[in-house]
Amino acid sequence: MLDRLREDASAAALLADVFDFDVARLDPVEPVRLASGGELRPIAGDAAGGTFFLCGNGPVLYADSEGSAGIVAADVDAVVRLVVGVPTWHDVVADAPDVDAMRESFESSYAELKAEEPELDRLRAEVAEKLDLGEVDVEELLAALSRCLTELSPGYVLLNEDGDEYDRL
């Protein structure tokens, strides 16, 4: 997926401009590492100063600029599906593991985002087609995000350069 994004400038631009997943922004706010000593590689950033990290060849950890972090997707393909399918995913993480509450938060925040970006549904479909994402099912994405936050995140503790733990998303 990352190679595809490097090759398709229009898809990468859509992800950065509309879905706040910028594969060109790879500088985290501060030096960080996993408590386990595992591999951590930045793969994208967002406008709020957050960074998406690939943990080895597995899950994707998101670290915000306020000192919170957590696993948000099982792999790179899944994180791209998440940011496209649930572009307001930041607004739902506090409701995990309650998928019904996550859906309610998503519906509310998505309506607000659509008011600002009336072409959002078309842009979601366009980037999904460009990247061959297939059908993006919000229910499945929310359930997967909930599992990542509650089941996977505890095994991926992020530390800053002083050894202080990031809070959980």
Report yes or no: 112 and 155 within 8 Å, Cβ to Cβ. no
> What pLDDT does 4 receive?
84
Give me Rg for the CA atoms of the chain: 15
Q: What is the pTM of this model?
A: 0.94
| Residue pLDDT tens, the chain, 169 long | 888 888 888 889 999 999 999 999 999 989 999 999 999 999 999 999 999 999 998 999 999 999 999 999 999 999 999 999 999 999 999 999 999 999 999 999 999 999 999 999 999 999 998 898 887 789 999 999 999 999 999 999 999 999 999 999 9
Helices (H), 50-137: 76-85, 99-116, 120-130
Which pLDDT score is estimated for 53?
98
- The predicted pLDDT at position 162 comes to 95
Report the SS3 class of residue 47: coil
Beta strand 60-63 with 51-55: parallel, antiparallel or unpaired?
A: antiparallel
Q: What is the pLDDT of residue 141?
A: 96
For Cα atoms 44, 49, 55, give the angle at the middle one, nearest 5 degrees. 40
pLDDT, position 5: 85
Look at residue 133 in the predicted model and tell me its pLDDT: 87
Q: How far apart are CA 85 and CA 82, in angstroms?
A: 5
Neighbours of 16 (CB within 10 A): 19
Q: Report the distance separating Cα 38 and Cα 15, nearest Å.
A: 28
Please give the Cα distance from 169 to 71 (Å, whole number): 8
Q: Which pair of structure tokens corresponds to residue 19? A: 């879905």
